[in-house]
Amino acid sequence: MAIQKSLLENNKFPLLVSSDSGNENIIEWANTSKTEIRALLNQYGAILFRGFDINGIDDFEAFAAASTSGDWVPYLEATSPRDHVQGHTSTSTKYKNDRTIFFHNEKSYSGTWPYNLFFYCDVPPTEGGETPLSDCRAIYRDLPVEIREKFERKKLMYVRRFSNNMGIPWKKAFDVSNEKELEGYCKKNYIEDLTWNADGTPTLKYVRNTILEHPLTGDKCWFNHGTFFNVHSLEPEIKEFFLSNFGQDGLPYNTFYGDGEAIEEEVILTLRELYQKHSVLFPWKKKDVILIDNMLLAHGRQPFKGERNILVTMTEHIDYSSIKTF
């Protein structure tokens, strides 16, 4: 098959798999090349497929299943607004065009997460709107020893408070109908502390490790939402709004050390700098598909102008209890 493999400019990732003609059947190639695709993912963390005739969601999902598997991962424990489009595909997170979505590993706050992320460029933005990628292996290696050891010792606590007035409703977020169903979900998904507020909304608290060992490469990866959800990651005006209106104890999301101690602002700033330091950008082109190993690379979104429609699907469940974590 006449495809080329290269790197974009001087970046170490993603690997670019491309076609000048667009005549090659990339779905057939993927179906017979799973082992090669996984080996390339282990090395580069992500593969950008460009110049192939992937037309719409049917082709997108066929390619995702061919290159990994048909073990589709739904977006449960939803934390951001997305619209279901078709089949196993949804829009990427809907957020104001002029805002940045910071780096994160998809559903790393959850008891299960997807091994693989697929993004499909249906409509590229006029300007900006890149999906930056950050190397979680490099972040782990570069993290100051004292910060890493404190998280290994104390672990990370997530706190999520639902509201009737903003954010995703709790029944929609967990795809449940009543309190009993949510309580059952929490027991099955390693959420240790669920309390019900006077207004009928839940507050969830649970502790996770911050580092995992990749199941195939054996590399240690910085894998969590500790920075993304922390109050010190909020943009200044949003941080001021939430703190002045809700206080520290009323924030919809926040993260702490596992014993409840506040994470120092300078630690969050150090982590944010490391995500940026080990990141790359690439411009979207129509019909691009990128396959990301969700444990090796974190992703985000840059501000943009014009229309932008990037679709997402996820495959292959990973369970927290099946992975070695630290």
Interval 236-289: pLDDT, tens: 999 999 999 888 888 999 999 999 999 999 999 999 999 999 999 999 999 999
Range of the structural domain that residue 231 is part of: 137-273
- Rounded to the nearest 10 degrees, what angle do helices 145-154 and 265-277 cross at? 120
What one-character-per-residue DSSP string does 233-249 give?
A: GS-HHHHHHHHHHH-GG
186 has which bridge partners?
Answer: none
Do 64 and 167 lie in one domain? The reply is: no
Do 268 and 150 lie in one domain? The reply is: yes
How would residue 27 be classed by pLDDT, with cut points 50, 70 and 90?
very high
- Identify the pLDDT of residue 51: 94
Residue 236 maps to a domain: yes
Q: Report whether pLDDT(1) > 60.
A: no
How many domains does the chain fold into? 2
Do 150 and 233 lie in one domain? The reply is: yes
Distance CA(189)–CA(318), nearest Å, equals: 12
Q: Which of 113, 97, 48 is nearest to 287 (CA)?
A: 48
Do 53 and 88 lie in one domain? The reply is: yes
Mean pLDDT of all residues in 130-136 = 98
Give percent of the chain above pLDDT 70: 99
Do 15 and 119 lie in one domain? The reply is: yes
Mean pLDDT of all residues in 212-241 = 96
If you average pLDDT over every residue of the chain, what do you get? 95
Q: Report whether pLDDT(297) > 90.
A: yes
End-to-end CA distance of the chain: 42
Which residue is it, tokens 């709107």? 129
The pTM assigned to this predicted structure is 0.95
CA atoms within 13 A on the CB side of 20: 3
Residue 131 maps to a domain: no
Q: Which of 58, 61, 41, 47 is nearest to 18 (CA)?
A: 47
Q: Which of 229, 208, 224 is nearest to 321 (CA)?
A: 208
- Identify the pLDDT of residue 22: 67
Interval 32-86: pLDDT, tens: 999 999 999 999 999 999 999 999 999 999 999 999 999 999 998 989 888 899 9
